[in-house]
């Protein structure tokens, strides 16, 4: 199955299985609501023909489609790594804002986060997601 052929089941799943709002999906993909429904029905030819625009839409669909497949810790780690690397926030900043120790950030980013206390994970996730939300306007568009 090619990437394009894989798009239709993903869009259909978002709409039917996860009850994703079609208007929100259309706005996110920068396409019409009709195009979203067409893609869900397998009408791949409704994708734009331009390589960059088509690729951007496919990437965005795949980003949404893999959300249920990833573990919550992995998602938060990804956002935390963006804050640390792209936004150049320090582990100390995150730890202070979450009212935890820097060592907790290190453990979370390491391979032992499954053993962490859920309250500490929650604090890391809460601060990470809030910072990511407020700083996302400084990131390049996808």
The Cα–Cα gap between 15 and 35 comes to: 13
Say what the pLDDT of residue 97 is: 97
Q: What is the DSSP string of 21-64?
A: -HHHHHHHHTS-HHHHHHHHTT-GGGS-SSHHHHHHHHHHHHHH
- Is the pLDDT assigned to residue 16 strictly greater than 80? yes
pTM, 2 dp: 0.65
The Cα–Cα gap between 130 and 125 comes to: 8
- For residues 62 and 30, the answer to whether their CB atoms sit within 8 Å is no
pLDDT per position as a tens digit, 19-75: 999 999 999 999 999 999 999 999 988 888 888 888 889 888 988 888 887 788 888
Q: What is the share, in percent, of the chain residues with pLDDT greater than 70?
A: 95
- Is the pLDDT assigned to residue 88 strictly greater than 80? yes
Q: Which residue in 38, 79, 82 sits closest to 57, CA to CA?
A: 38
Say what the pLDDT of residue 86 is: 86
pLDDT per position as a tens digit, 89-120: 999 999 999 999 999 999 999 878 888 999 99
- Residue spans per domain, the chain: 3-69, 72-138
Q: Which residue in 47, 51, 50, 52 sits closest to 7, CA to CA?
A: 47
Cα dist. 100→10, 22, 104, 122 in Å? 38, 40, 7, 11
Confidence band, pLDDT 50/70/90 cuts, at residue 142:
low
CB atoms within 10 A of CB 100: 20
pLDDT: which is higher, 7 or 98: 98
Structure tokens at 6: 């894989």
Confidence band, pLDDT 50/70/90 cuts, at residue 2:
low
């Amino acid at each position: 199955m090619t990437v394009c052929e894989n798009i239709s089941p993903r869009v259909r799943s978002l709409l039917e299985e996860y009850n994703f709002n079609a208007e929100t999906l259309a706005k996110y993909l920068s396409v019409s609501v009709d195009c979203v429904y067409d893609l869900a029905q397998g009408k791949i030819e409704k994708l734009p023909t331009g390589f960059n625009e088509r690729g951007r839409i496919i990437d965005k669909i795949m980003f949404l489609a893999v959300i249920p497949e990833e573990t919550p810790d992995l998602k938060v780690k990804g956002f935390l790594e963006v804050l640390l690397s792209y936004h150049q926030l320090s582990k100390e900043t995150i730890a202070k804002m979450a009212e935890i120790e820097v060592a907790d950030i290190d453990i979370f980013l390491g391979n032992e986060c499954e053993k962490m206390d859920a309250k500490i994970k929650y604090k890391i996730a809460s601060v990470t997601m809030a910072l990511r939300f407020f700083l996302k306007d400084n990131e390049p568009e996808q």
